[in-house]
Amino acid sequence: MTLQTLKRLFTVEEYYQMARSGILSEDDRVELIEGEILEMSPIGSRHAACVRRLNQIFSARIGTRAIVSVQNPIHLSKRSEPQPDLALLQPRDDFYERAHPEPEDVLLIVEVAETSADFDRETKAPLYAQAGIPELWLVDLSEDYIEVFRQPSAKGYAEVRQVRRGQVLCPQALPGLELAVADILG
C-alpha cells in the first residue's frame, strides 16, 4: 500500500490570518515562499553588519530617488511574500502604507547570505525573476563576492555575473551610482 502525503500550501491572505489569530507572531522569523511558511535562518553578526552597511550606503547616496526598505515584505504573488534583506523601491508619498510593494515597485533586491546562499540562489532568485524583479544582488559573505542577476524571465535571470573586491557595482535603476564591492563586503 502506497501512502500519499499532501502538502497544504497557503496564500498570503491565509498567512496574515495566522498572524491575526496569534498562530504566528511578529517575533517569528518566517516568510511565505511559494505557499510554504519557511523559517528564516538566524541573522549572524557578519550578516547584520552587511545589511547595516548597505542601509547606510544606500540611504546616504540615493536621497529621494528611491526608498530603502530593510527586511520588509515584498508581495510577489498570491503565494509568495519574501522579506529580502534590502530592497530599493520606487518613491511613493505614502511609503507603501496601504499595501506592501509589488514587483513593479521594486528597483533592486539585495539578499545577504552567510549560510543561505544556495537557498537564495536556487529558490529565491528564480522566484524574483519570474515576478519580473529587474535586478538582484546576492551578497555571499562566505565566498566573499556579490552575484548580480539581471534580465528576468520566467526561466530565471539571463545575466548572472560575479563581482569581487576591487570592482564597483552600479544598480541599473540608478545610473551614476557606483558602489565599491569592498564597501559592501566590509
Dist CA 148 CA 172 (whole Å)? 11
Q: What's residue 6's pLDDT?
A: 78
CB 76 within 8 A of CB 82: yes
Q: What is the DSSP string of 42-101?
A: P--HHHHHHHHHHHHHHHHHHTTSSEEEES-----BTTBB---SEEEE---TTTT-SS--
Q: What's residue 1's pLDDT?
A: 61
pTM: 0.93
Q: Which domains does the chain have, with CATH numbers?
A: 43-185 (3.90.1570.10)
Q: What's residue 40's pLDDT?
A: 87
Split at pLDDT 50, 70, 90, the class of 47 is very high
Compute CA 50 distance to the chain's CA centroid, rounded to the nearest angstrom. Answer: 14
**pLDDT tens per residue, range 3-41:** 777 788 999 999 989 999 999 988 889 999 999 999 988
Residue 91 has which C-alpha cell?
A: 518613491
